[in-house]
Structure 1
Amino acid sequence: MDEKMIVACPSCHKKNRIASDKKDSAAICGHCKAALFSGEVVAVNSDQFRAHQSADLPLVVDFWASWCGPCQQYGPHFEQAAKQMPFAARFLKISTETEPHLAQQYAVRSIPTTLLIKNGQEVARQAGVMSAAQLKQWII
């Protein structure tokens, strides 16, 4: 029996049911036909975040702001880790400027703050800048 999982599309944020063993670069969204595992970081708002939060793929969430120097420094490392781990987790960016209520909901006190969310629940948190290698190690 094939195990099924729900994956939110990084482009249209619609949910897709796929076989767990079909997590590969050929998997596409049934709604918009975009790649489900592009390895790209996805900037999301509250509604889009909820779609990804209720899916089965773990989330790595970067809370950031455009005026934050360390956030700008961290961005390329976060993107590099996303490209290297497209099937392990969905990498999301949430702006604390446009989505302050999400930052408040997760008690984000400093930025950048990275959360690891599995099954809709926060399982780990790291404040500050990490290299791509440190981020990958932290996720695993």
Structure 2
Amino acid sequence: MPYTATFTPETLTRADVDASRGPLVLEFGTNWCGWCGGAQPHVQAAFEQAGANVPHVKVEDGPGRRLGRSFGVKLWPTLVFLRDGVEVEKLVRPQGADDIVAALQRIA
């Protein structure tokens, strides 16, 4: 599952994420967020550069959304890189593709 373009309403629970196997990237934000839109070229480029087949789930975040709170999300976009349900790295408002590529390589 390569880069995902659209944030979707929360469908995963924290238990689902904790039970996941292999690499996983959760990206928290919204489709209307300017910071999120500005980061998308970097996120997309990183997934293309890394060449990793890492699942990328864009989670629409906001008040009352538990999954984002469980990862301490306060600013958008926040990317959480997981391996076997365990957080390996978190990037908040990435400004370029390099940090994202490095994090992808650590979990792939």
**TM-score where L is the length of structure 2:** 0.72
Unaligned 5+ residue runs, structure 2? none
Highest CA radius of gyration, 1 or 2?
A: 1
Note if 1:76 corresponds to 2:41.
yes
Residues 47/127 of structure 1: CA separation in 2 closer, same or farther (3 Å cut): closer
Q: How does 1:38-57 map to 2 (within 5 A)?
A: 39-41=2-4, 43=7, 45-47=10-12, 54-57=19-22
Unaligned 5+ residue runs, structure 1? 1-36
Q: How does 1:69-108 map to 2 (within 5 A)?
A: 69-85=34-50, 87-97=52-62, 100-108=65-73
| C-alpha RMSD of matched pairs (Å) | 2.8
| CA distance in 2: counterparts of 1:98 and 1:109, whole angstroms | 11
Note if 1:66 corresponds to 2:66.
no
Deviation at 1:139, TM superposition (A): 2.8
Counterpart of 2:80 in 1: which secondary structure?
Answer: strand
Identical positions, percent = 20
* Number of equivalenced pairs: 103
**TM-score where L is the length of structure 1:** 0.58
Higher RCO (C-alpha under 8 Å, 6+ residues apart): 2
Deviation at 1:87, TM superposition (A): 3.6
